[in-house]
Structures are given as structure tokens and as C-alpha cells.
Structure 1
Amino acid sequence: MKKKIAILGSTGSIGKSLINIVKKDKKNFDTILLTADKNYKELFKQAKILNVKNLIITDEKSYLELKKKKLNKIKIFNNYNDFNIIFKKKIDYVMSAISGIYGLEPTVKIIKHTKKIAIANKESIICGWHLIKKNLKQYNTSFIPVDSEHFSIFYSLGINKISNIDKIFLTASGGPLNNIPKSKFKAVEISEVIKHPNWNMGKKISVDSATMMNKVFEIIEAKKIFNLKYEQLDILVHPSSYVHAITKFNDGMIKIIAHDTDMKIPIFNSLYDSHVKTIKTDQLNIKKLNFLNFKKVDTRKFPSIKMIKKLHNKETLLETIIVLANDELVNLFLLKKIDFTDIFILLQRLINMKEFKIYYYKKPGNIDSIISLKTLIKKKINKMIN
């Protein structure tokens, strides 16, 4: 029987990688739904390739453009509330790959409609893990993380319980600016910042890699997903990105998980059950294994890592504020309204404001309250830079 699947954010890099896997094995998959924000041309193209009958496109103008096309029984929707119309019963698998905080609502809403959800959206996990976890339990839905680091931790656990973990090390390539001196950071060009040495990523995540803010986010994600304390998590710079996570257990054993710098590997493993199908990858890279070159993060060069020390083991809105403020500041950098070094300076200034310090001790709320907080942060940042 074919697996019934859905892809939220199918026109992004993760979505496209999954589409490439599924289209090579169409006999085993029935793709029920694809979604996008504005890229209706790519969405329509994907729908034709996989014979998809339901599409959601959230941007109003793009929705109207798509409605003009010759659709051949394809149903077009404009709202995630239409999940209740699209899904008559639980499907087998959902990939949640919508970028940004606006991926949280559809991620939470679709959990009840699927047996398994793979999540590649940092903002959803950081800002809404309490909502995701509640729905996973309520609707008996299994979860698998797709980020290479978190999937590696997930994979390394095997039969081990989370209580057996002593310490986990996430690896960081050092990003696009790893070999550029800090003295040149202020004048660095956008083209330099978004040119990642190992991964083919979007602009926003490439900037986060350059500031190493992405590692702050991954530490927060790991803490939430695996129910750990921040003291059990650390970061090692590893320029080749061959090793993704190192897990040290209480019995003294250490697992090192390595794979090629290709997101199709964790995506493939999230889709297929163990040992059902194999994936063609490169041979073991002995050269990389002989020169792993691990080192501690230089926090003078990448001060964003210091933010981890501000975080509490209890659930608070501080993590949400950091994510939402960083999103806005990265966007301003890409629009050339602030310098690269301003991202961290302004972020630190914002979270130290008296009006935001109260959130250090407030618990996360519902989706509407998170979106309201995003609006408040955006207004405050725009006031700061003007």
C-alpha cells in the first residue's frame, strides 16, 4: 500500500530535496498535499510531477494567479484551516519545512492529521515546542527532527534512554566567515555572508551560520527535543561538517555520527522505515576522518554563543524573543539597512531592555501571543535603527 504524505513548504530547499526522493519512488507514495507561500509556479510544477490533488498557497496574489491555471481536478486552498477538508483520515507522514515563525501554526494544526511528522523548522520547535509536544501526545503522532545535528542525536540514541546521556556536542562548520578575521566583519558584503563553504542553504540560514546564531538555536532545540539541561550541551567547531553530533553516555561510551554534507540523508531516513530502502552516498571519507580538527568556539569572534549562558532550563519566552528579534535583524541586514556586526549588537541591546526582561520568566503562550510578540519586537527594532 502506498504511503500517504504531505509536504509543508515544498518549494524551499528541504521540500525540494524531499520531492526529488519521492519522484524517484512514486509507486510507493501518494502525495496528498503540497504547500507554499508565493512560489505558485514551482508548486504547480511539483503537483504535476507527483500527481498531487491538493495545494495550499498562502499569499493572496499568488493564490489568485494559481487559480487561473488549467488545474485538472487539483483543489486550490488559501488557508491552513482547510486541513480539515483535505484530510479525511490520518496520513502516514508530514514534512514541516516552512521557514520562519509562520511555520508554527500549520505545524501544530497538521499533527492530528498524521501518524508521523518530520520537522525542519527551527522557529516552530524553539517558540512552540510546548504546543507541538502537547499535540503529539494528544493525537499519538510520532516526531522526528530533520536538522542534521538533531537527527544525528536521534539516530545515536538507538535503544539508549535520554536519561543515559551525559553530554552532547553539536558541531559547527564555523560558517562562511570562519577564515575571515573579526576586524573585517563590519565591512563584510552580503555575498560573502551567504556563501556557505559546505552547505547549499538559503540566505537567512546562511547569515545565521555566519553569526553562529544557528548554533544557539540548535542548542535550544536539542534541549527541548531531548528534554536535557543546557549544561549537558556544547558546541565544537568542525570545519568540514563531516561529523554532526557526538553523544557521550553515562556508561562511558561515545557515539560519533558522521555523514556527507547533504540534507537528503536525514530527510531520506525520516521518510523511510529502517532498513526498508537504501540510499546511494559517497564512500567513507578517510581523509576527513583523519583530520576532524575539532576546537572550541572563539566567543570573541562569535559573541552570539554567549547568549546560551543567559538561557534558563525552565521554559520561558526568552528563547522566543531571541529567535524573533534575530529574524527581523537578519532581514534588515539582507535589505542593507544595517551592517553585519549590528545584528548581534542590536539583538543584545533589545533583550537587555527593561520591557523585554520581564519575558525572561514568562512561560510561552498560544500562537497568537507569539505572533503579537513578533509584531512588538519588529516595531521596537525599527524604532532603534531609525
Structure 2
Amino acid sequence: MKKKIVILGSTGSIGKNTIDILKKNKKKFDVKILSTNKNINLVVRQAKEFNVKNVIINHHNSFLRAKKKYKNYNISFYNSFEILDKILTNKEIFYTMISIVGIDGLDPCLKMIKLSQNIGIANKESLICGWSIIQKEIKRYNTKFIPIDSEHFSIYSLTKNENIKSVEKIYLTASGGPFLNFTKSQLKKVTLQETLKHPNWIMGPKISVDSATMMNKVFEVIEAKNIFSLNYRQIKIIIHPKSYIHGIAKFNNGITKLLLHDNDMKIPIHNSLFENDLKKNLSSKINFEILNNLNFKNLNQNQFPLTKILNTLPEKGSLYETALITINDFFVKKFLQKKISYLNLIKLIYNHLFNKEFTKLKIQKVRNINDIYNTRNYVLFKLNKKGI
């Protein structure tokens, strides 16, 4: 019997990689639902290839265009994730990939935990802002959770057979992005095109900017703290320009483990789908040239000032993490629209994150999903009111 699969965010980078893996395993999987925000042509091609009957299009105008353009196709289009538990029954789905971008990915994530046996989450915002809620639902419905980001999948792989209390420290590697060796005077002149050109990974515009500013590593540290029940003192960012080592775990017994793989997101995705299937093989030869020149360096926080935020974060999750996500998203959007410079992007994010108006959120707990959405709306209101 084929295993049933759901991919939410199937037209993004993670979603497309997941689709590519499933293409080679069509006899094993039955894709039940796909979703996109606006990319209706691609999601329909994906639906046709896998004979998917149900497609969710989150953007309302794109949903209307799809219904009209593809009205003769044997596909039911929906404009809301509310339909999920009406189409599916509890634990019907073997595996769900959550690769929707943004805080709006949290609600469908929570819905699919109840409906899935296994859930892979590549949505940073959910794991940062809503981890306390996700964790409760995972335990409640006995759903297996697998982190998909290469760094977190690496730490997950290194520690899954260990008592987490035996972990002394974990190291998350960072390439340093396109501006690792740039001076401040050079950074004044960088262009949007240069910012989007990551030296090792092919990513979307938003994550490429976050990689350049190192905000993505700030996010990954928060995720790691949540996922692995660690404190911030147990997590360290280390610069590794080649992006070959993705995670290092040091244990109290003196043993240190590291995990390496090629710069290909198909590897963590594939292993989350085929965790115990030893017949599957994505292996390439070990690159000993890179291993002989790992070139690890300590992170210079003055070079990447946004990482200083990590020194001020509360150990317990709060609504401040939602403010952090929202402020960063707001100004990255301005940068992508070429309304602010690269250095101004960093300055504006940094200054607003230390504004008392938002730091007061550090003492406010996340009680439910509405708290997160209301906080996002509050922060956006304040930012828009400033007229930036």
C-alpha cells in the first residue's frame, strides 16, 4: 500500500526538492494535498504529475485565477487550510512536509500534527514563535517530528539515540554568506544582486538576505534551543565557509560527533522520508580536500552585529521571538524592494529589536496561536506607523 503524503509549500525550494525525491519513488507514495501561495502554474503541474485531487492556494486572487484557468482539470482548489481536517482523517497521512514560509505556516502545521504520523518542519517561524504549542500537540497526538533544516537535521541525527542531558554543547556551522570577508566600507556599496548570491546554497531571496546578515543563524540558534531542550550557553555558532560540516555535538563523556554532507537539501529531506531504508543511496565520495581544510573560525559579532541579539534573549520562549521575526521580515522586504541599503537594513533591525516598545514582550508568554498573530499585527502596526 502506498504511503500518503502531504506537501504544504510544494512550490518553494524545500517543496520542490521533496517533489524531486518523490518522482523517483512514485510506487511508494500517494500525494494527497499540495499547497502554494501564488505559483498556480507550477502547483498544477505537480498535481497532474502525481494525480493530486486537492490543491490549496493561499493567495486569494491566485486562487480565483486557478479556479478559472484550470476549471476543466480534475482538481479541487481551496483557499484555506481549514479544509485539511475535512479532507483528511486522523493519522491517515504517513508524512507531511511543512515548508510554508512565514508565521502563517504555524496554523496548518498544528492542523497536520493531528493528521500525520510523521511531520517534517522546515518553517523556521513556527519553530521559533510557536514551539511551545507545537511541542504540546506532538506529544498529544504522538506524532514524530523531524527538523528539516540541514543544521537541525544534523544535530537531530547526532543526538537521537542519546540522552539529551548528556549533550555538553552543540555547534551550528555558518558559511558567513557572501560578505564574510567584506570591510564596512565595502558593505556600503553592496547591491541586492550581490546579497542574493550565496556562495554555497541556492535559496530564495528572503533566506539569502538572512544568510548574508547572519540573522538566519540567530533563528537557527533559537530553533535548536527549542527543539533539543538546551539553553543558549550550550549552543555556539562557528564559521565554516565550505558548508560541508553541518553540525557538531560534544557530549559530557568526552566524545564529539560531527555530521557532514554535500550542500544539497535533498539529503536531509530524503533521510526524513526514508529514515530506516538502507537501500536508498544519495551518497557521494567524501571530499577529503575539504576535510583537510575545514577552516573553522569563531564568529565575530562585530562583523555580524545582528548575532548580538542572542546575548539578550530570554531562556524561556516569549512573544519577543514573534517580534524578532516580524521586525526582520519587515525590513528585509524593504531591502528586497530596494527602499533601504544593506547597512541600513542591519541598523534598522538592530535598533528596533532593542526598542523598549518591543523588548517588553520578553516577559509575555505564548499561551496560544492568537497571541502570536496578535503580536505580529501589533508589531507591524507600530512599524508602519513610523512610516519607514
1:190-224 Cα deviation digits (max 9, x unpaired): 00000000000001000000000100100000000
- Deviations 1:51-70 (CA, angstroms, capped at 9, x unpaired): 11111111111111211214
Residue 348 (structure 1) aligned to one of 347, 350, 374? 350
Give unpaired runs (5+ residues) of structure 1.
none
Report the equivalent of 1:262: 264
Deviations 1:242-267 (A, max 9, x none): 00011000100000100000000000
SS of 1:92 mapped into structure 2? strand
What letter matches 2:247 in structure 1? A
Deviations 1:101-156 (A, max 9, x none): 11111111111010010000100100010111111111111100000000000001
> 4+ residue runs of structure 1 moved beyond 4 angstroms?
none
Shift of 1:376: 2.2
Output aligned runs, 1:1-386, within 5 Å: 1-68=1-68, 69-90=70-91, 91-384=93-386, 386=388
**Counterpart of 1:77 in structure 2: which amino acid?**
Y
Distance 1:364 1:343 in 2: 28
Runs of 5+ consecutive residues of structure 2 not aligned to the other structure = none
Note the C-alpha offset of 1:385: 5.2
Whole-Å Cα distance in 1 between the matches of residues 363 and 281 of structure 2?
A: 46
In 1, the alpha carbon distance for the partners of 2:25 and 2:316 equals 44
Q: Which amino acid aligns with 2:285?
A: Q
Distance across 2 between alignment mates of 1:89 and 1:235: 39
1-structure distance, mates of 2:256, 2:75: 50
Give the secondary-structure state (helix, strand or coil) at the position aligned to 1:30.
strand
| Aligned 8 A contact 2:90 2:114 in 1 | no
Of 207-216 and 52-61, the range deviating more from structure 2: 52-61
Provide the aligned C-alpha RMSD in A: 1.3
Q: How many percent of aligned residue pairs carry the same amino acid?
A: 49
Deviates more, 1:18-27 or 1:87-96: 87-96
Q: What displacement does 1:366 show? A: 2.3
What displacement does 1:76 show?
1.4
2:170 counterpart SS class: strand
Mean Cα displacement is larger for which, 308-317 or 237-246? 308-317
Give the counterpart letter for 1:226 in structure 2. F
Q: Normalization by structure 1: what TM-score?
A: 0.97
Are residues 323 and 241 of structure 1, via their aligned partners in 2, closer, same or farther at CA, if it must alter by over 3 Å?
A: same
1:192 partner letter: E
For the residues of structure 2 that align with 1:382 and 1:72, how far apart are their CA atoms? 42
Deviation at 1:99, TM superposition (A): 0.7
The number of residues matched between the two structures is: 386
Summarize the Cα distance change of 1:158–1:363 in structure 2 as closer, same or farther, 3 Å threshold: closer
Residue identity in the other structure for 2:305: P
Query: Quick one: distance in 2 between partners of 1:88 and 1:105?
Result: 17
Q: Name the TM-score, length of structure 2 as normaliser.
A: 0.97
Instruction: Give me the whole-angstrom Cα distance separating, in 1, the residues matched to 2:324 and 2:89.
Output: 38
CA distance, structure 2, for counterparts of residue 125 and residue 241 of structure 1: 23
Secondary structure of the corresponding residue to residue 299 of structure 1 = coil
Distance of 1:319 and 1:9 partners within structure 2: 23
